[in-house]
């Protein structure tokens, strides 16, 4: 993602050699995103992605990397971390925790249609089923506790109307989180950031096949309904008014339910989960916009986008068709 830490070819080559991943052929920084430092790495044995973690600690990282390994080993199209001779998948480059993972083929579909949304729904349900026997636990680090911590630092940058929206939505989400209905929602390790730019497709136009899902570094234990809501807010968005596009939203959910049917409680709370997902990304984008970190290739995204999504979800609650 954004290049916060610049590394040399010699540093990257030393890692690939130590991991038995071949000799370094090419190293290129990736400019998209705002959390970690990422490079495309080409070696004599294949193509990889090298990530240097700028915020996550060595104590937190095993959860993400083992989750990716767990999913990849169950046949899901997820990058698999490269282990060293002792089986370790967390390494160090330029004094930062680092991982080298397989680079998946394909390209983004930033304007997905029904075909893409349906494939995403099936994949997401498969991910949710596959974590049933994943033993590690770690909370969603961008969940409610983070929202409550981040909000006071961001309120000074907001006008009165936006402060009111933030305060009222935080109060609403606290009520939801404390409810019995929320407590019984199915949950497990979720991606929590499966936007269009974190999924790859390959093939002829109109016949593309989903080839990969990556960037699991916001994953954590949360409700599956919340993970689905994150996807709906990005993959099925009507750009004109931030409403959900009904055909795409239903295609995504129907494909999901062919693999993992939603519970009645998940259906009932979907409007609240859609609001929670919009709030989470509004807050993170406000932070990136108003409290940015230095990076060689940093392009913070407009926080106004998810403010509009949040307002739309409040004004027009959405449920999957029944």
Global pTM value: 0.94
- Joined together, the tokens standing for residue 279 give 């709030």
- Looking up residue 222, the CATH number of its domain turns out to be 3.90.1200.10
pLDDT in tens, 234-271: 999 998 899 999 999 999 999 999 999 999 999 999 99
Which domain range does residue 97 map to?
9-101
Let me know how long the chain is. Answer: 322
Where does a domain end: 80, 101, 122?
Answer: 101
Q: Are residues 209 and 232 in the same domain?
A: yes
Residue by residue, DSSP assigns 237-251 as B-TTTS-B-HHHHHH
Residue with tokens 């949710």: 128
- Candidates 319, 166, 316; CA nearest to 229 is 319
Q: Are residues 118 and 97 in the same domain?
A: no
- Candidates 269, 120, 282, 271; CA nearest to 187 is 269
In a domain? residue 2? no
In a domain? residue 322? no
Residue with tokens 């997820």: 78
Q: Are residues 177 and 269 in the same domain?
A: yes
Q: Are residues 90 and 120 in the same domain?
A: no
pLDDT in tens, 41-66: 999 999 999 999 998 899 999 999 99
**Would you write out the chain's pLDDT as a tens digit for each of its 322 residues?**
466 889 999 999 999 999 999 999 999 998 765 678 999 999 999 999 999 999 889 999 999 999 999 999 999 999 999 999 999 999 999 999 999 999 999 999 999 999 999 999 999 999 999 999 999 999 999 999 999 999 999 999 999 999 999 999 999 999 999 999 999 999 999 999 999 999 999 999 989 999 999 999 999 999 999 999 999 999 999 988 999 999 999 999 999 999 999 999 999 999 999 999 999 999 999 999 998 876 544 577 899 999 999 999 999 999 999 8
Where does a domain end: 101, 122, 146?
Answer: 101
Where does a domain end: 42, 72, 101?
Answer: 101
Q: Considering its fold, how many domains does the chain have in total?
A: 2
């Amino acid at each position: 993602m954004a290049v916060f830490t610049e590394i040399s070819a010699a540093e990257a080559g030393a890692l690939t050699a130590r991991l038995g991943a071949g000799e370094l052929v090419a190293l290129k920084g990736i400019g998209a995103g705002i959390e970690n430092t990422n490079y495309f790495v080409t070696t004599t044995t294949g193509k990889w992605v090298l990530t240097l973690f700028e915020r996550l600690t060595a104590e937190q990282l095993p959860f993400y990397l083992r989750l990716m390994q767990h999913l990849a080993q169950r046949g899901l199209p997820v990058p698999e971390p490269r282990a060293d001779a002792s089986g370790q998948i967390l390494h160090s480059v330029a004094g930062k925790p680092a991982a080298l993972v397989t680079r998946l083929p394909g390209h983004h579909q930033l304007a997905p249609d029904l075909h893409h949304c349906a494939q995403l729904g099936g994949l997401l349900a498969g991910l949710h089923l596959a974590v049933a026997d994943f033993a590690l636990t770690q909370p969603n680090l961008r969940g409610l506790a983070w929202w409550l911590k981040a909000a006071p630092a961001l309120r000074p940058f907001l006008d009165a109307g936006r402060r009111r929206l933030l305060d009222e939505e935080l109060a609403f989400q606290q009520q939801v989180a404390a409810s019995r209905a929320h407590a019984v929602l199915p949950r497990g390790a979720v991606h929590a950031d499966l936007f269009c730019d974190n999924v790859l497709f390959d093939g002829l136009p109109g016949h593309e096949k989903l080839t990969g899902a990556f960037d699991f570094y916001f994953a954590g234990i949360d409700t599956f309904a919340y993970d689905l809501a994150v996807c709906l807010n990005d993959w099925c968005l009507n750009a004109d008014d931030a409403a959900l596009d009904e055909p795409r939203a239903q295609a995504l959910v129907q494909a999901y339910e062919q693999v993992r049917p939603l519970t009645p409680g998940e259906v009932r709370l979907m409007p609240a989960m859609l609001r929670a997902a919009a709030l989470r990304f509004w807050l993170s984008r406000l932070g990136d916009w108003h409290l940015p970190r230095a990076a060689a290739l940093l392009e913070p995204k407009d926080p106004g986008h998810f403010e509009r999504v949040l307002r739309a979800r409040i004004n027009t609650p959405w449920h999957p068709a029944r």
